[in-house]
């Protein structure tokens, strides 16, 4: 693992950064979650590092946290471009932040680590989808956003095993891991749907009836496309034999990482 920072600038970036606007907005909804979920991950990992004795795993946690810190700072810069256009967005983000504050205050370290592993298992699926299944959706898109997501998801794959190993080191087993996975899936799924609904409905308020119907059609088409890809991989996460260390890197991920100079 290497912390990298592409140091992107988003001053004139547009919400509709790809020609397929519903794809761009659903992806934007994911971006809005990251300053909150990845800050939470780093807090959980810091707590875990304080009680884990394994020096190698403690070093991996430090690298993981450096990568995640770079991710959420870059996404925060982009997300500021969305806030003026979508009036409910900051309130939705704040609600997610309160959720994580409550989890840190109320739940055990093991339960929080299980949620973190659930999130990371979803990140692997998104990385595979981004690199291998949507070149048509990225064609002609804003190169900064393509690079932002490519870098982020390639590093998500690179550090894919850290939360898995932390959860195990804290005494977590199969059932604990599944509880964390389903909790993360439900929680972030609900948040992402509420935000993407707000983004898309705000856009559609300015559309004519024909344009609105086409936007709804494209949204349904994209969501179905992702679920066809994701469902067998989500089911694989449920296997007692699941181990992210055995996963094959998505095509193109390593080459992209090699194009970015290391740096905090």
Torsional sign, CA 34, 131, 256, 251:
positive
What are the backbone dihedrals phi and psi of residue 251, each rounded to the nearest 5 degrees, phi first?
-60, 130
Tens digit of each residue's pLDDT (9 = 90 or more) over 17-73: 999 999 999 999 999 999 999 999 999 999 999 999 999 999 999 999 999 999 999
Angle at 260 between CA 257 and CA 229, to 5 degrees: 35
CB burial readout 196-223, b (16+ within 10 A) else e: bbbbbebbbeeeeeeebeebeeebeebe
Q: Which sequence spans correspond to the domains of the chain?
A: 21-258
């496309």: which residue's tokens? 225
Q: Is 73 exposed, middle or buried (0-12, 13-18, 19+ CB in 10 A)?
A: middle
Across the strands, what pairs with 4?
Answer: 262
Residue 173 has a pLDDT of: 97
Residue 260: other Cβ atoms inside 10 A: 17
The DSSP call for residue 249 is P
Token reading at 43: 């807090």
The arrangement of secondary structure in 21-258, i.e. its CATH architecture, is Orthogonal Bundle (1.10)
Residue 17 has a pLDDT of: 96
Residue 263 has a pLDDT of: 65
Percent of the chain with pLDDT over 70: 99
| Helix (H) or strand (E) run with residue 113 in it | helix 109-133
Q: Tens place of pLDDT for every residue, the chain, 264 residues?
A: 899 988 899 988 899 999 999 999 999 999 999 999 999 999 999 999 999 999 999 999 999 999 999 999 999 999 999 999 999 999 999 999 999 999 999 999 999 999 999 999 999 999 999 999 999 999 999 999 999 999 999 999 999 999 999 999 999 999 999 999 999 999 999 999 999 999 999 999 999 999 999 999 999 999 999 999 999 999 999 999 999 999 999 999 999 999 987 865
Residue 11 has a pLDDT of: 87
Nearest to 171 by CA among 234, 115, 111, 253: 111
Long-range contacts at 68-73 (CB < 8 A, ≥ 24 apart): 68/38, 68/41, 68/42, 69/3, 69/38, 69/42, 70/3, 70/4, 70/5, 70/264, 71/34, 71/38, 71/152, 71/155, 72/34, 72/35, 72/38, 72/39, 73/35
Instruction: Give dist(CA 194, CA 96) in Å, integer.
Output: 11
């256009």: which residue's tokens? 85
Collapsing DSSP states into helix, strand and coil, what is residue 137? Answer: helix
Instruction: Give dist(CA 10, CA 234) in Å, integer.
Output: 33
């Amino acid at each position: 693992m290497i912390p990298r920072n592409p140091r992107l600038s988003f001053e004139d970036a547009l919400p509709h950064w790809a020609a397929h606007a519903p794809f761009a907005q659903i992806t934007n909804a994911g971006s809005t979650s990251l300053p909150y979920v990845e800050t939470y991950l780093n807090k959980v990992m810091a707590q875990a590092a304080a009680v884990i004795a394994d020096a190698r795993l403690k070093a991996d946690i430090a690298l993981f946290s450096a990568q995640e810190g770079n991710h959420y700072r870059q996404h925060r810069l982009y997300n500021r471009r969305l806030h003026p256009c979508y009036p409910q967005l900051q309130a939705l983000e704040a609600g997610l932040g309160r959720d994580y504050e409550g989890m840190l205050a109320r739940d055990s370290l093991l339960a929080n680590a299980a949620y973190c592993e659930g999130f990371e298992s979803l990140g692997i699926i998104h990385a595979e989808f981004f690199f291998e299944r949507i070149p048509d959706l990225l064609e002609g898109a804003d190169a900064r956003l393509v690079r932002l997501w490519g870098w982020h998801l390639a590093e998500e794959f690179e550090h894919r095993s850290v939360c898995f190993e932390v959860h195990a080191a804290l005494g977590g087993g199969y059932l604990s891991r599944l509880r964390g996975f389903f909790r993360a899936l439900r929680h972030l799924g609900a948040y992402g749907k509420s935000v993407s609904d707000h983004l898309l409905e705000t856009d559609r308020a300015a559309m004519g009836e024909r344009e609105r119907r086409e936007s709804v059609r494209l949204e349904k088409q994209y969501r179905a496309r992702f679920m066809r890809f994701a469902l067998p991989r989500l089911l694989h996460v449920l296997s007692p034999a699941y181990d992210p260390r055995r996963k094959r890197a998505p095509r193109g991920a390593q080459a992209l990482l090699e194009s970015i100079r290391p740096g905090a």
